Amino acid sequence: MCHNSSVSRSKLLERSTKYINLFVLALLLIVLGLIGWYGWRTLPTVNGSVDAPITAAGKILRDTLGTPHIVAASLDDAIFLQGYATAQDRLWQMDAMRRSTAGELAEIAGKVALPLDIQARRIGFARTARVQAERLRPEDRAVLAAYARGVNYFIDTHRDKLPPEFAILGYEPRPWSISDSLLVGLRMAAELTNTWEMDLNKERMAREVAATFPEMDEAQLRALVDGLFPARAGNEVLAGSNAWVLSGARTETGKPLLANDTHLGVQFPSAWTMVHLKAPMRDGASLDVAGFTLPGIPAVIIGHNRRIAWGVTSLGADVQDLYEERMDLNAGVYQFGGEVRQANRIIEGIRVKGEADVRLNVFVTQHGPLIAQAGEAPYNRNLALQWTALDPDFPSFPFLEIGLAQDWTAFRKALSRFNGPGQNFVYADVDGNIGFQVAARLPRRTQAPGDLPLPGYTGQHEWQGYVPFEELPTIYNPPSGRIVTANQNPFPPDFADAGSGQFSSPHRANQILARIEARPKWNAAGMLEIQKDVYSPYYAFLARQVVAAAGRRKPPAGLVADAVEVLRNWNGQAELDATGASIARLYSIGLRAAILKRLAPKWEKADIGMDDAVVERILRTRDPLYAKDYDAWLLEVLGKVLEENRSRLGGTLANWKYRELMKWNVDHPVFSRLPLIGRYFNIGRYPMSGSSSSPKQVGPTSGPSQRFVADLANWDSSLANVLAGSSGHPLSSHYTDQWKPFYYGTSFPFPFEKLEAEDILEFRPAK
C-alpha cells in the first residue's frame, strides 16, 4: 500500500514537473517571441527610399560591416545624413552619453545614479554646453545644426520604432541639439582629463610623508613627493593611445603608413563609429573623408581624405587647477585678495525616478564651480575647479577643416583652432611628408605648476592667458623617417608652460620604436602586428630585478624559488597562458603597495596610481629610504605577493595563467540587466593579453577601442575596425560582428575607392 502510494506520488511529481517545464518553456518562447517581434520591428531600415528635408538626392550606402558611406549633393545634406545614420545605429548610446554628462541619469536609472548627477551638475557640463553653443563660430554652428536635424528627423519618423533600450527604461529621447554634441565632446574631455584628483592625492601623500618622516625639512619632503609623483608623469594605465607614422623610406610601397589605436575605457556599444562622407563644396572643392568619430559628433576625428591621413593620442597636459576658497556658503561670498566677492549661486533641480526631485545648490567663483563644499565628505573644503573645457569660448570644431585639408600647411591651420581635449596629432600625405603637432589650449602659470590645490583667496595663482599655438611642439619630415607618440611627454625640458600632466612612461613608445627599427620595410599588416604587441618592458624589467636578486640572495625553497625560475624563463610577453606575466603583474601591484606603505603606513587605502617609471627609478637607484638590502627586500615582497594570491590562484604556479588575472567584462549597460535573456545580448567576460607598458596597453577596464592603419599608397588597403560593431541594436547583424576580429587583432580593409555596398538607402527631397 505504501509502495503503491509512493509510486503514484512519484509519477504525479514527474508529470507535474513536466507540465511546469512545458509551461515555463511556452512562457519563455512567448516572451522571446514578443522580444523578437519588437526587436525586429525596431531595426533601422537600411534599404529602400526615404523622403527627407534635404536639398537634393543623397544616399547612405553600407559596406559589409554596416559602415555608412554617405553621398550627398552638399555639405549640409552630407552632415544631415550622417546625423540620421548615426541615430539609426547608436541613438540610445548618444542619449545615454548626453544624459550622463548633463547629470540626468537618475531620471531614468533612479537614485543609484544620483551621486553621478550631483557631480555633473556641480561641474556644470550642461550649463557650459548651452553657453558654449551660443559662442560658436557661425560655420561650426551650421555643421552641428545640420547634424542635429538629421538625428531629430530619425527620432521624429521613428517614434513608434525607437531602439529597444528606450522601451525597457520607459522613456523617449528629447530632440538632439547643438549643445548635446558639445556635451559629448565635454564627456571625452572629462574622460581624458582628471588631474584634479591627482592633485588631491599628491597633497594627501605630502601630509602622510611629513608625518612619517618628521626629521625631514620642507624642501626634502617636497623633493620626495615630487619624485613619487613627478609633475610630468602619469598613472599605471591612462585612457591613452598609440599613433605613429613612417615615411616612404621605411615602407614597402615607398609611400607613408600611419597607424593609430586609441585606448579608452571598455564600452559596449563601441566608443567609436566609422563613416565615409562625400559631397561637393561651395568653393569648388569636394569633401571625401573617411574614418572614425564619436556618436553624437559630426565629421571625422581620425581618418583620411584623398591626400592626407591623421591620427591622435591624448596629450595628458594639466589643464585643470583646484583652488581652495575661503567662503561663506550661507551668504555665497568668498575672499579674493583684499576683496570680498559674490559667487554665482545656481539652483539645480535633479529628477529622480521613483523619488522626489533633489534641489542642489551650486556655487561658481571666478575660478570655476565648487566641486566640493565645506561640511561634506570626503574633502570637507570649498574647492573650485578651473578647467579650460569650462571656458565659454572653449569649443571649436576644426574637424571639417581637417577633413578638407590637402597639405601640412592647411592641416596645421585647422589644428590651430583646436582647443582640446589636448591631443598629439600625427600626419602623413601622398606626397611623402610626415608630421607631428601638439594641439591644445594650455594655461600659462607663473607661480606654481598646478600639481597641488592652490589658495584661491590670495589672488596670486591666476592663469596668465594661454600658450600660443605657434609655441607648441611640432615636427615635420624628421631625418629618421618615423614619429611615435604613445602619451609620453612631448615637451622639451625647457618648455616651462607645459606645467604638470599625466604623461605615460616611455615604455610603450620605446617598444614601438624598437619594433619599427627591427625591420627595414613595413606594410599595413605589419603596423597591425605592432598594435597587438604584448611585450611588457616594465614587467620584464621587474622579472630581471627579481632574478638578479635571487642570484645574490638565495630565495626560500617552495613557491618563491619556483616563481623565480618562472620569471627567469619568461620572455616578457603578456600572453594569456604566460605564468610569468601573472607573477610580474601581481608583483608590480605588491611592490607599489610596499613603497606606498613605507611612506604612508597609516593610509589604509593608499592605492593611488604611481607611474611605472617611478618604481623603475627607485629600483635602479636603490634609494635607501625604502630598503637597506634591496635584494632581500625584493624577495620578501615577492613572498608576500605569492602568499596573498595563493588562495585565489592555487598553490601550483602552473595554474597561475595571465588569463585568470586580466579580464574584460564587455556587457551592454541595459540589456545585461534583463532577467533570463540578458546574457545573450552581451559579449561577456573575456581574458585579455597585454599590460600597462605593452603597445597593446590593457588594464582591467581599459584598452584599445579601435584600430586604424592608413596606407597612403592605396587607400583601399587601409585597415580599420571598432571594438564590437557599427550597430547598437542587439538584433542587428552588425551588433558584435567586429568583436572576434578585434579580439584576435585581424581587422578589416576600409573601402574608400572601391565600395561594394551591401545596403543602399536613398533619400529624396521632401515635397
DSSP string, 570-624: --SB--TT-HHHHHHHHHHHHHHHHHHHHH-TT-TT------HHHHHHHHHHT-T
Q: Residue 195's pLDDT is what?
A: 84
Q: How far is the C-alpha of 712 from the C-alpha of 96, rounded, in Å?
A: 37
Q: What is the mean pLDDT of the chain?
A: 91
Looking at the DSSP bridge assignments, the partners of residue 279 are 287
Alpha-carbon distances, residue 378 vs 208, 381, 597 (angstroms)? 16, 9, 21
Give per-residue pLDDT as tens, 98-135.
Answer: 999 999 999 999 999 999 999 999 999 999 999 999 99
- Residue 646 zone, left/alpha/beta (φ > 0; ψ -120 to 50; rest): alpha
Q: Where does the pLDDT of residue 240 fall: very low under 50, low under 70, confident under 90, or very high at 90 and above?
A: low
Q: What's the gap between Cα 737 and its chain centre?
A: 21
Mean pLDDT confidence for 497-512: 82
Question: ∠ at Cα 279 (273, 281), nearest 5°?
Answer: 125
Mean pLDDT confidence for 608-618: 83
Give per-residue pLDDT as tens, 406-460.
Answer: 999 999 999 999 998 999 999 999 999 999 999 999 999 887 778 899 999 999 9
CATH number of 73-193+320-390: 1.10.439.10
Mean pLDDT confidence for 739-767: 94
Whole-prediction pTM: 0.92
Contact between 80 and 60 under an 8 Å Cβ cutoff? The reply is: no
Give per-residue pLDDT as tens, 51-86.
Answer: 999 999 999 999 999 999 999 999 999 999 999 999
271 contact partners, CB below 8 Å, separation of at least 6: 262, 264, 265, 294, 705, 706, 722, 723
Contact between 421 and 193 under an 8 Å Cβ cutoff? The reply is: yes
Neighbouring C-beta atoms of residue 766, cutoff 10 Å: 10
The pLDDT > 70 percentage for the chain reads 93
Q: How far is the C-alpha of 18 from the C-alpha of 648, rounded, in Å?
A: 40
Alpha-carbon distances, residue 81 vs 60, 147, 451, 703, 758 (angstroms)? 7, 8, 44, 31, 18
The grid coordinates of residue 365 equal: 567663483
Q: Residue 9's pLDDT is what?
A: 47
φ, ψ (nearest 5 deg) of residue 349: -105, 120
How do the domains of the chain map onto residue ranges? 73-193+320-390
φ, ψ (nearest 5 deg) of residue 512: -60, -45
The grid coordinates of residue 50 equal: 526615404
Q: Where does the pLDDT of residue 663 fall: very low under 50, low under 70, confident under 90, or very high at 90 and above?
A: very high
Res. 592: pLDDT tops 60: yes
Q: Where does the pLDDT of residue 496 fall: very low under 50, low under 70, confident under 90, or very high at 90 and above?
A: confident
Mean pLDDT confidence for 552-558: 89
Give per-residue pLDDT as tens, 703-731.
Answer: 999 999 999 999 999 999 999 999 999 99
Among candidates 341, 385, 306, which has minimal Cα distance to 716?
306
**Three-state SS letters, 52-114:** ECCCCCEEEEECCCCCEEEECCCHHHHHHHHHHHHHHHHHHHHHHHHHHHHCCCHHHHCHHHH
The grid coordinates of residue 630 equal: 634591496
237-246, 533-542, 672-681, 734-743, range with the lowest pLDDT: 237-246
Give per-residue pLDDT as tens, 178-208.
Answer: 999 999 999 999 998 888 888 898 899 999 9
**Three-state SS letters, 308-332:** EEEEEEECCECCEEEEECCEECCCC
| DSSP label of 474 | E
Give per-residue pLDDT as tens, 520-536.
Answer: 999 999 999 999 999 99
Q: Residue 232's pLDDT is what?
A: 58
Contact between 243 and 679 under an 8 Å Cβ cutoff? The reply is: no
Res. 639: pLDDT tops 90: yes
Considering only CA atoms, give the Rg of the chain: 28
